[in-house]
Amino acid sequence: MKRVYLLLALLLVLAGAVSLVLFGLPVAEHKGYVLIAFQGFRYESSLWAFIALLLVLWLTVYLVRMLLRLLATSGGLINPWSRLHRRRRVRLASEQGFLDLAEGRWSRALRHLKRAAASEPQPLSYYLGAARAAQHLEQYEDSDALIEQALNSQPQAELAIALTHAELQLARGQTAAALDTLQAMRERHPHHHLVLRQLQALYLQAGDWPALLGVLPDLRKEKALGNAELNELERQAWRGRLLQVGQAQANDEQTGLAALQQVWQAMPSTYRQEPELLAVYAEQLRLLGAEGEAEELLRGALKQRYDNHLVRLYGLLHGRDPVRQLQVAEGWLKQHADDAGLLLTLGRLCAHNQLWGKARGYFESSLAFQRHPETCAELARLLMQLGEIERSNELFQEGLGLLDQRLGSAAVATSD
């Protein structure tokens, strides 16, 4: 190692000697001359001295600039109000604000996010986060003001801001205001899937079935929801619409019947064949006094496809021809002799035709397959009419017990 250092020293000495020979001697022999004179100022020196002076001046300026830059950097580190520290404070406020928001510390989140929003050129996320925090604190006016500030700062983000505002309005129970917000956005962005989905949820919550049916085609076109979910929504909307029309026109049977039939005809044919919707429509027809039409409807549907629920409903209808109605139902007995619901229906139809003994036989056969509260009540009424009071009372008591059990089971299922 020492040899290496010794070699480097010798090389430096040699290089200095060569430089002296090459440059020192010419400099000593040819000093040159520089003269600068201007309005009483006079400067004269050798050329090499002038060059050396320029080098010194350049080095001095360079060192002064470095010193100033160092002072500015150190001042930024020391000064708490410098730009460097301001950016750091904004970053910390935003990080802490979103952490507080996620962890439910609403007051701290509101304070930090408002601070971050005031110093950021793109403050949208901070304003929206602060609006959510204010919402949780039930400071609704402050929340709306922050939404307004977000819109003023970034008007190009109108849709995102409006969706957040509608969500907050719904959480407060301001359904009408949320609806106005979303409908305005639908006019400007008619195919945006989030607008359509929020409108769908709002219409569903409000039970506005015509409006829900109106938005479903766009939801399907934009593939905003899966086909299964859309089909279930459409089925639910048509069911609600049938019930809505029937209940709204219950006091005016003629007008109500026309409105109900109009809704039924507007329904897609696939849904008109579904047992659930057939049952709702038939029940509404029955309530509006069109039992004959309801009986014909169910008879045709059951001819195409047997359904237990429709069979039970069929027994509650008084058709135009009770004898034929009974005959039709007895025809189903050949393939469904062990169906307790069909036997209950046959008992009811026999009672409609005043065939008391036959009705009693069907009711008792139904109870043999299934102890059902409805069947107990029907047989109890029949026995009361026939004078068998004690047996009738026993069946009434049994029916009430079965009904209590069903209600208790339903309550347990709901709580689970």
The predicted model gives 287-296 an average pLDDT of 92
Matching residue, tokens 């830059």: 69
Q: In this structure, are 296 and 334 located in the same domain?
A: no
- Alpha helix (H) ranges present in 288-372? 291-304, 308-314, 322-332, 340-352, 356-369
Predicted confidence band of residue 224 (pLDDT cuts 50, 70, 90): confident
Residue 25: its pLDDT value, please? Answer: 53
Q: Which residue among 320, 348, 370 closes a domain?
A: 320
pLDDT in tens, 380-402: 999 999 999 999 999 999 989 98
| Mean pLDDT value across residues 375-381 | 93
pLDDT, mean of residues 362-369: 94
Between vectors from CA 238 to CA 237 and to CA 241, what angle results, nearest 5°? 85
| Rounded-to-integer distance, Cα 100 and Cα 110, Å | 9
The percentage of the chain sitting over the pLDDT mark of 90, rounded to a whole number, equals 53
Cα(400)–Cα(394) distance, integer angstroms: 10
Amino acid identity at 217:
P
Question: What is the overall mean pLDDT for the chain?
Answer: 84
Residue 105 inside a domain? The answer is yes
Of 107, 135, 153, the position where a domain reaches its end is: 153
In a domain, 216, yes or no: no
pLDDT at 81 over 50: no
Number of domains in the chain: 3
**Tens digit of pLDDT for each residue in 232-264?**
999 999 999 999 887 766 566 677 788 999 999
Q: Determine which of 54-63, 133-142, 355-364, 386-395 has the lowest per-residue pLDDT on average.
A: 54-63
Residues 287 and 352 in one domain: no
Q: Does pLDDT of 303 surpass 70?
A: yes
Q: Are 150 and 132 in contact (CB under 8 A)?
A: no
User: Residue 72's pLDDT is what?
Assistant: 54
Whole domain around residue 270: which residue ranges? 252-320
Does an H or E element contain 219, and which? helix 209-221
How many Cβ atoms are within 10 Å of 147's Cβ, its own excluded? Answer: 22
**What is the per-residue pLDDT across 115-135, written as a single tens digit (0 to 9) for each?**
888 877 888 888 899 999 999
pLDDT greater than 80 at residue 322? yes
> In the listed set 303, 320, 337, which residue is the last one of a domain according to the structure?
320
